Amino acid sequence: MMTRLIKYSRKISLWVLVRMKRSALLRCFCTPGRDKILTCPPTYGMYAVSAQVNDLEVVKVPLDTKKAFKLRPDAINASLSSDPSIKIVYVCSPGNPTANLVSKPDLQQVLEHPTWNGVVVLDEAYIDFAPDGSSLAEWVTEWPNLVVMQTLSKAFGLAGIRLGAAYTSPPIARLLNSLKAPYNISSPTSTLACAALQPKNLAVMKSNREKILMQRDRLVEELPKIPGVGRFLGGADSNFLLVEILDRPRDEGGRPSNETALVVYVRLAETKGVVVRFRGKEVGCLGCLRITVGTEEEVNALLNTMQLVLADIFDNRDWARGSQMEDAKEHEANEVIA
Ligand SMILES: Cc1ncc(COP(=O)(O)O)c(C=O)c1O
């Protein structure tokens, strides 16, 4: 990300954001109580939370669940045509929890809407885990209505310093810059960010990323061998995978099951301290867990524990307990926005 940041900042307008970034965009382009944003679920939960905080309605145009969570530009554009109070479209690439990159022609179609006069925000929080060259940050030189957001929170592991960057056109950069408070980046944050961008530390980030990508490949290979693990939904362009958990092994006719996924989620966390995300209530994600790729040891622990937990569930056919657990834990599991 930051090599791009250094490279692009000479070419394109850059607004460095801290803490308030999501609400800054909302405050810049939307009037509370009147305007709306458009999101494409399943997606990052904070877009809707920020909209709620700013008294903005959320129009949802779900991703295409039959086509690996592809964007639906025709449906998005139809919503934009029929509702001029939509001021921002949020697209996440790679998607969270879908882990897939948006297709360039699909995004272009939305950017080139013939009449709509709003802003497209492309959230590239996980772009460093996608193949090189996947970022569309340079597109802001071509489309003045595009804001591309990146963060040091993911591949750099610096979520604690609360620093990200938005690439955008000069007119939008001017608006955002006039909105920000003076000295909005603290000196500890800027010191740590500058240190992270030194060649020596960039090399550390890249080597960590390589290790994560290797473990991601391993999970893609090994998880489906566990009886009770179903298909991967979405893609593999991020540092997590979205995978179905079945109510029985696949060769016994297993079907995606929230009940089983919740039992797995709870037992992984409570017995082994392995925390995954339950995403079974999201559009098109029945029975799904979002599993973040960890170190080799963490992946070992996940694979072993997942195998044990699922074998135990299937051996005991512990459904009564499972459904009680679903009632008790579902709310809690859904609360986690990440
Ligand atoms: C899609 C997406 N965007 C942004 C963020 C958060 O980024 P930051 O820490 O820079 O606020 C997350 C964190 O989970 C995310 O999933």
| Residue pointed to by tokens 């939960």 | 45
DSSP code at position 61:
-
The minimum-distance atom of ligand 1 relative to the CA of 164 is 10
Beta-sheet pairing, 146-151 with 163-168: antiparallel
Reduce the DSSP state of residue 193 to 3 states and report it. helix
The minimum-distance atom of ligand 1 relative to the CA of 337 is 14
Confirm or reject: Cβ of 50 under 6 Å from ligand 1.
Answer: no
Task: Kindly list the structural domains of the chain, giving each domain's residue range(s) and its CATH number in brackets, ordered by start.
Answer: 2-197 (3.40.640.10), 206-335 (3.90.1150.10)
pLDDT of residue 319: 52
- 59 neighbors 83 (Cβ within 8 angstroms): yes
CA angle 190, 121, 84 (to 5 degrees): 140
How far, in Å, is the centroid of ligand 1 from the Cα of 125?
6
pLDDT of residue 337: 62
- The list of the chain residues with pLDDT below 70 reads 1-22, 317-338
Closest residue CA from atom 5 of ligand 1: 125
Strands across the sheet containing 240-245: 229-233, 240-245, 288-292, 277-278
DSSP code at position 101:
P
Confirm or reject: Cβ of 292 under 6 Å from ligand 1.
Answer: no
Phi, psi at 16, each rounded to 5° = -90, 130
pLDDT of residue 338: 64
Reduce the DSSP state of residue 28 to 3 states and report it. helix
How far, in Å, is the centroid of ligand 1 from the Cα of 114?
30
pLDDT of residue 18: 47
- 285 neighbors 42 (Cβ within 8 angstroms): yes
Query: Ligand 1 test: best mutation among 1, 46, 92, most atoms within 8 Å of CB?
Result: 46
pLDDT of residue 115: 96
Query: What does the pLDDT look like over 203-224, one tens digit per residue?
Result: 999 999 999 999 999 999 999 9
pLDDT of residue 53: 94
